[in-house]
């Protein structure tokens, strides 16, 4: 039963992910991404990570995807016949070849890294709490992995600051060009 559900969800996740890149309408892309996130959340649940599943839906489906939809509606994308010509230029033959080469290179490096790393030490990676996921997870996250956790939050903060700086500079340049 659980195995069957896993395969159904895995296939759904991959198909939806394909839909994200292949769909023409931006609305369909976002909805495909949503389906993909849900399938992933179910897979997390099957693996026994209730917290991760809930956080996945809460953060990605509940907040980030709403922002995506917000932008799409604000720019009124997705109405037929208004395709931006710059989008088409992005998919020229030369660019497509370049993308495939880069993707293949990344895949090669990843495969090499996974081969070098050897089998994952599964028995050590599970928290000692075992069946009580949240105290176990919190203990690991704010104990053994505190430094990476804080590093990631600093990285995210830096990204947010960078976006603000970039957006601001753009506006100032616009004002200067107007004046």
Among positions 14-73, residues that touch other proteins (CB under 8 A) are 27, 50-51, 54-55, 57-58, 61-63, 66-67, 69-70, 73
- CB neighbour class for 176 (10 Å; exposed up to 12, middle 13-18, buried from 19): exposed
Longest Cα separation, the chain: 67
* x-or-dash string of contact with other proteins, 64-103, rule CB under 8 A: --xx-xx--xx-x---------------------------
In degrees rounded to 5, what are phi and psi of residue 103?
-60, -40
160: contact with other proteins by CB under 8 A:
no
Name the one range near other proteins by CB under 8 A: 96-104, 128-136, 151-159, 165-173: 128-136
Minimum CB separation of residue 165 from other proteins in Å reads: 20
Cα gap 99→52, rounded to integer Å: 32
- CB neighbour class for 126 (10 Å; exposed up to 12, middle 13-18, buried from 19): exposed
Footprint of other proteins (CB under 8 A): 27, 50-51, 54-55, 57-58, 61-63, 66-67, 69-70, 73-74, 76, 132-134
């Amino acid at each position: 039963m659980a195995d069957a559900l896993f395969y159904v969800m895995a296939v759904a996740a991959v198909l939806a992910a394909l839909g994200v890149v292949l769909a023409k309408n931006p609305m369909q892309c976002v909805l495909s991404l949503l389906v993909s996130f849900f399938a992933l959340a179910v897979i997390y649940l099957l693996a026994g990570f209730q917290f991760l599943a809930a956080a996945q839906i809460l953060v990605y489906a509940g907040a980030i995807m709403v922002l995506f939809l917000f932008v799409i509606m604000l720019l009124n994308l997705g109405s037929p016949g208004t395709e931006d010509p710059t989008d088409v230029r992005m998919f020229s033959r030369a660019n497509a070849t370049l993308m495939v080469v880069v993707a293949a290179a990344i895949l090669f490096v990843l495969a090499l890294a996974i081969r070098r790393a050897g089998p994952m030490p599964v028995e050590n990676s599970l928290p000692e709490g075992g069946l009580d996921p949240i105290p176990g997870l919190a203990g690991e996250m704010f104990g053994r992995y505190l430094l990476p956790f804080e590093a990631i939050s600093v990285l995210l903060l830096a990204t947010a600051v960078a976006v603000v700086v970039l957006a601001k500079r753009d506006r100032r340049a616009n004002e200067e060009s107007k004046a």
